[in-house]
Amino acid sequence: SDFLSDRVKQLQPSPTLAVTQKAAELRAAGQDIIGLGAGEPDFDTPDNIKEAAIRAIREGQTKYTAVDGTAELKQAVIDKFKRDNGLDYAPNQILVSTGAKQSLFNLCQAVVNPGDEVIIPAPYWVSYPAMVEIAGGKPVFVTADWDQDYKITPEQLEAAISDKTRLVMLNSPSNPTGLAYTREEFQALAEVLKKHPQLLIATDDMYEHILWTDEPFVTLLNVAPELYERTVVFNGVSKAYAMTGWRIGYAGGPEKIIGAMKKVQGQSTSNPASISQAAATEALAGDQSKVAEMVKAFKERHDQVYQLLSEIPGVRVKPSMGTFYTFPDFREAIAALDGINSDTELAEFLLKEAGVALVPGSAFGLAGHMRLSYATDMATLEDACARIRKALAG
Ligand code: PLP
């Protein structure tokens, strides 16, 4: 016996790992490697948030808290949902977790039975399919390519729904594309969802604040309040407040589902770190001005990277509406390069020839693309784009 469960043997290892590992090896060997693969802000956590955590330590907030979060943080989450999203939740409709990743994992464990189908629009955040599979469910991918702005249509959604469909996962603005659904697009999807009352919906709003469209952020429930009883909204402090290492995310939803998610969390990790919860309370309830500063920097970098990538022959790119990612289409460049037949091979080529680490699109369910994170300084980004251009030309 190899001691491993069937479940873990079926789990796909992260395709991003190969590139990340190779980048680390090359760097250790003394090579000059620019890593644009990371999914986290380069900024430090704002000082007011750090101070709140230090205060919490000094005041002895060092014990277990309630499994679903401290009363203070849950109130800050309730106030945030009301203030930013116009959504009303009671305390028993809120679950605070060790990152939105855990919240989403809890949901899959709480609602997916073996054989259940879960609709995941592709390109998707890498963890969705794996979480569904760990729960015994079957991911059903709905692919949205360049010509539809990487967003699924109501016709595609309708066609993907079967009597086994249990859950639909939506993420806007999207990791990896940086694109967001408009109010009208959400309305059209909502019309389909309303016709299928057996479906649960998860909306992942992680990048809510990192958005530069004229239209303000919109989440599905804003256009379809009728779906409130079967929608769980996910969010967290990692991206907007540069708090990836603190590990705090949260969910708001129907009491029964949140309660089931809490039960899963109560038998696995219990509460997220008490110190991090104090920090997240300050992040959500305190001064918000740092968020706008960081978003301004992401937007400036985006505009420059977008421009530089657009000028590279064989590469086409859509301007992002938010996040700190862009997801350029390299299919023409791949076709033009001798000996390169896939985005994975292109990622290896760019790492070797340009010293730039990007994540291949196939990791996100859409081959031929690359995800580039611009959560790094402008000079590095300009250098990286110049290197990519040179490597593709040579
Ligand atoms: N959802 C999306 C779309 C993400 O990109 C991420 C992080 O990469 C998460 C959820 C989870 O974030 P965290 O667990 O740090 O809250």
Q: Which amino acid is at 280?
A: A
Q: Which domain-ending residue is among 262, 285, 308? A: 285
Q: Is the CB of 175 under 6 A from ligand 1?
A: yes
Task: Provide the pLDDT for residue 89.
Answer: 98
Establish if 1 belongs to a structural domain. no
Q: Is the CB of 206 under 6 A from ligand 1?
A: yes
**267-313 pLDDT, tens per residue?**
999 999 999 999 999 999 999 999 999 999 999 999 999 999 999 99
Task: Provide the pLDDT for residue 23.
Answer: 83
Average per-residue pLDDT for the chain: 96
Q: What is the CATH number of the domain that holds 342?
A: 3.90.1150.10
Q: Both 102 and 209 in a single domain?
A: yes
193 contacts 168 by C-beta, under 8 angstroms? yes
Residues 277, 65: Cα–Cα separation, whole Å? 9
Task: Provide the pLDDT for residue 22.
Answer: 81
Q: Which amino acid is at 212?
A: W
Q: Both 247 and 382 in a single domain?
A: no
Q: Is the CB of 125 under 6 A from ligand 1?
A: yes
Task: Provide the pLDDT for residue 170.
Answer: 98
Mutate to test the pocket of ligand 1, among 16, 96, 98, 101 (most ligand atoms within 8 A of CB): 101
Distance 118 CA to ligand 1 centre (A): 18
Pair type for strands 231-236 and 200-204: parallel
Give the pLDDT band of residue 20 (cuts 50, 70, 90).
confident
Residue 238 belongs to what domain range? Answer: 50-285
Distance 216 CA to ligand 1 centre (A): 21
**169-208 pLDDT, tens per residue?**
999 999 999 999 999 999 999 999 999 999 999 999 999 9
ipTM score:
0.99
Which helix (H) or strand (E) segment holds residue 212: the answer is none
Distance 58 CA to ligand 1 centre (A): 30
Q: Both 260 and 323 in a single domain?
A: no
> Is residue 16 over pLDDT 80?
no
DSSP 8-class letter at 214: S
* In the chain, % of residues over pLDDT 90: 92
Q: Both 158 and 117 in a single domain?
A: yes
Mean pLDDT of 41-56: 97
> Is residue 15 over pLDDT 80?
no
Give the pLDDT band of residue 39 (cuts 50, 70, 90).
confident
Q: Which domain-ending residue is among 285, 309, 327? A: 285
Residues 232, 249: Cα–Cα separation, whole Å? 13
> Is residue 212 over pLDDT 90?
yes
Q: Which residues of 127-141 are buried (b: 16+ CB within 10 A; e: fewer)?
A: bbbbbbbbbebbbbb
Ligand 1 atom, smallest distance to 248 CA: 16
Q: Both 281 and 294 in a single domain?
A: no
Task: Provide the pLDDT for residue 17.
Answer: 66
Distance 337 CA to ligand 1 centre (A): 34
Establish if 308 belongs to a structural domain. yes
**327-372 pLDDT, tens per residue?**
999 999 999 999 999 999 999 999 999 999 999 999 999 999 999 9
Q: Both 303 and 169 in a single domain?
A: no
Q: Both 78 and 175 in a single domain?
A: yes
CA angle 345, 347, 353 (to 5 degrees): 95
Q: Both 126 and 235 in a single domain?
A: yes
Residues 228, 224: Cα–Cα separation, whole Å? 8
Burial of 268 (0-12, 13-18, 19+ CB in 10 A): middle
Task: Provide the pLDDT for residue 361.
Answer: 96
Q: How many domains does the chain have?
A: 2
Ligand 1 atom, smallest distance to 40 CA: 8
Q: Is the CB of 244 under 6 A from ligand 1?
A: yes
Q: Both 330 and 274 in a single domain?
A: no
Q: Which domain-ending residue is among 285, 308, 334? A: 285
Q: What is the CATH number of the domain that holds 146?
A: 3.40.640.10
> Is residue 321 over pLDDT 90?
yes
Give the pLDDT band of residue 54 (cuts 50, 70, 90).
very high
**136-162 pLDDT, tens per residue?**
999 999 999 999 999 999 999 999 999
Count Cα atoms within 13 angstroms, Cβ side, for 238.
24
